[in-house]
Amino acid sequence: MRTLSVDLGERSYPIVIKRGLLSEVGSRVIGLGFNGRVAVVTNPTIANLYADRVMKGLKGAGLNPALITIPDGEEFKSLNEAGKVYDGLVRHRMERSSAIIALGGGVIGDMAGFVAATYLRGVPYVQIPTTLLAQVDSSVGGKTAVNHPSGKNLIGAFYQPKAVFIDPDVLRTLPERELKAGMAEVVKYGVIWDEGFFGFLEKNSGVIYSIGRETTHAIERSCEIKAEVVGKDETESGLRSILNLGHTFGHAIEAVSGYGTYRHGEAVSIGMVMAAGFSARLGLCSSDVEARLKGLLAVLGLPVDAPDIPAEALIESMRLDKKVSGDKLRFILVTGLGQVVLKEAFEADVRGFLLSFKKA
């Protein structure tokens, strides 16, 4: 077992990583000081796999759990579906002291966290991520949101959970595509923070999906980096923005393609390759860095080529992104493995790169 901490003063919380942890959820939630009613928010797929175990564990610990399900998929991360979760909380008479438990991937975690931040002006919640992407990224750091038709995560709040409970064993039931999509965020940590970790992923690319000790180490190191960054910059006023490597391009790809066409991690994979290519074009890094990143992502089974989307459509989407400043687009760009920098770029420069990247 490994316990990490997101250090935010009075709002600090643990990240507990342990095989078989799902079977301990009742005692773990009680250990946080909760009692009475709790709401488990999940989707039908995860409910079929794990809801019985979680609900029995919560009941066995003396809690009164209610199960609320929403459809599975990024296209359902909306205000409309959030409204249905509010309806469930009201129906089950959840109070301000009642906890919400997010049992699922990034969509569930973002949605449940957003609802927790706004229901009765804020109720506590716990993250139990069941996808690799959620375990290493979205469950940690308190970013909660729903999508708007014009852009991803445009409606949301920073609202920290009381704990994150990670059970690597649940990844054994994760579809291969979802597992690979999550690995994009793992690779991201090597690029933005730790070249040695990037090398570890290169060396172990053949066994990283085995859900063995290499996978667990990848989860632990990713959470360790995320926790350190969030502890230093909770609301993304500076350092935390480095976690957005690949996301300016990636979010535009998701929005223009239609949510659900690409998994978030797949779009981030393409976005990181584009960010590295743009960095090389601007002279910030060598082409070798771009080649190593593209090579690792490809070996891990992730997409690395830009989809057939007009450059203007991508730029229009990027204008709506939260990482825009004035009339310039903001990017996290690569200066070397383990090193990135925040840069602003004129639309004309981005347009020229997009046109050349699509031809490459």
Q: What is the pTM of this model?
A: 0.94
Whether 226 is catalytic is yes
Domains and CATH numbers, the chain: 2-173 (3.40.50.1970), 176-359 (1.20.1090.10)
Kindly name the residue from 236, 254, 266, 290 that is annotated as catalytic.
236
Kindly name the residue from 152, 244, 254, 290 that is annotated as catalytic.
244
Single-letter amino acid code for the residue at 235: T
- Cβ atoms of residues 302 and 265 within 8 Å: yes
Distance CA 163, CA 124 (A): 10
Whether 217 is catalytic is no
pLDDT number for residue 326: 66
Whether 247 is catalytic is yes
Whether 236 is catalytic is yes
Q: What is the pLDDT along the chain (360 residues), one digit of tens a residue?
A: 999 999 999 999 999 999 999 999 999 999 999 989 999 999 999 999 999 999 999 999 999 999 999 999 888 999 999 999 999 999 999 999 999 999 999 999 999 999 999 999 999 999 999 999 999 999 999 999 999 888 788 899 999 999 999 999 999 999 999 999 999 999 999 999 999 999 999 999 999 999 999 999 999 999 999 999 999 999 999 999 999 999 999 999 998 998 778 999 999 999 999 999 999 999 999 999 999 999 999 999 999 998 989 999 999 999 887 556 667 899 999 999 999 999 999 999 999 999 988 655
pLDDT number for residue 255: 87
Dihedral, CA atoms, 214, 172, 260, 138, nearest 10 degrees? -50
**Beta pairing class for 64-69 and 37-42:** parallel
Whether 143 is catalytic is yes
Handedness of CA 120, 122, 127, 131 (dihedral sign): positive
Kindly name the residue from 28, 251, 263, 294 that is annotated as catalytic.
251
pLDDT number for residue 324: 66
Kindly name the residue from 152, 180, 226, 294 that is annotated as catalytic.
226
Distance CA 234, CA 242 (A): 12
